[in-house]
Amino acid sequence: MALPEFNTANHVPPPPPTRLEQLKRLDKNSQAYTPILISLFEFTTVAMLGTAVVLALGTGLLFGLGLAVYLLARGVKMAIASW
């Protein structure tokens, strides 16, 4: 079976889209994806704030524990020195 002859002179590429067509396509895409992007932004913001709160609590607990151990060690040292 022979393939049909392919003449490239008959196949002209379409002209590039105009600026108005590009803007209309961008507007359609932004209208379609805006709710999704807003919900993604909200989720990311809440997740980052939650992570910051957890890190702050962990840092505070570690600082408090370190301070308690330091004060306990100083108290023991003072008690031994005065005994």
pLDDT digits (tens, 9 = 90+) for 24-78: 999 999 999 999 999 999 999 999 999 999 999 999 999 999 999 999 999 999 9
pTM score over 0.75 = no
**Could you tell me the residue ranges of all domains in the chain?**
20-82
Residues 6+ apart with CB under 8 A from 61: none
DSSP code, position 35: H
Contact between 80 and 72 under an 8 Å Cβ cutoff? The reply is: no
Please give the Cα distance from 30 to 60 (Å, whole number).
Answer: 43
69: amino acid identity, one letter: V
